[in-house]
Structure 1
């Protein structure tokens, strides 16, 4: 069963509110006295419309708004970045997504540097063995529908790691020390 939707009024008016000229998204209505758009959305999609509060003395302003309504059961991966890892240290990160239901997580491109992805939990865990930056794409499958999200993990050198910090060498001349 859909949930009612009612955001705070986008502005305050001492008079009346008007839609100018397009209708509200399907299933939502505008209260002309309070300026509150409310109701239960009946169709998925993005609907753009203008609201026009009319204040004392007939003064008004018009502003464009958009409301995105997702289909029931729709989902998205909400993890957009991952923490850095360190060579030789245990790493764990849990991917997150909207919605509910049985899920399968997989890699659709690339591979994390050392850690592995658990198919049923979305946990990336393991101990990286190499300093690197890895770019990969995770895929979530739920009820036959799929969504993907590009991610990356940067693996820093571990404690006691040997590194070269020199970025260039001076030029030399034949026969000169």
Structure 2
């Protein structure tokens, strides 16, 4: 488990460093674009920016034009990878609780009470009762697969909702909002 966490932290650290480097370049381009846009507004529509400083305009311009998706995608990936062990532990606990409460059958009960028939893995080999027990135990993978999938979907839904609720409007709209 420690090796998994160290690997995840190294990969996330590398991705974070790449994101930070990319974002520095984007911030330079945005600063350049904000300067050009400020000069354009000062020449053609100075009354529109009346009472606004250049630094306030640059902040608004950055909020409107900065790409937000890569940061949210990196955050969602980091959340998924760092919560994966917790998710698996929770699913194991839910499976044991379900078996203790009688909601989920024990693999032995599945073999005893549910007729799985003769499971043919190859043409020359038939699966007996012991093999059926292994097949029944493997059904737990079904719960884990869909449990991890549901957790991932909840994480993505959380970040998508946050992404869209914090979406800025157009530059003119944000300038007008900043006056209120």
| TM-score (normalised: structure 1) | 0.19
TM-score by length of 2: 0.19
Higher helix share: 2
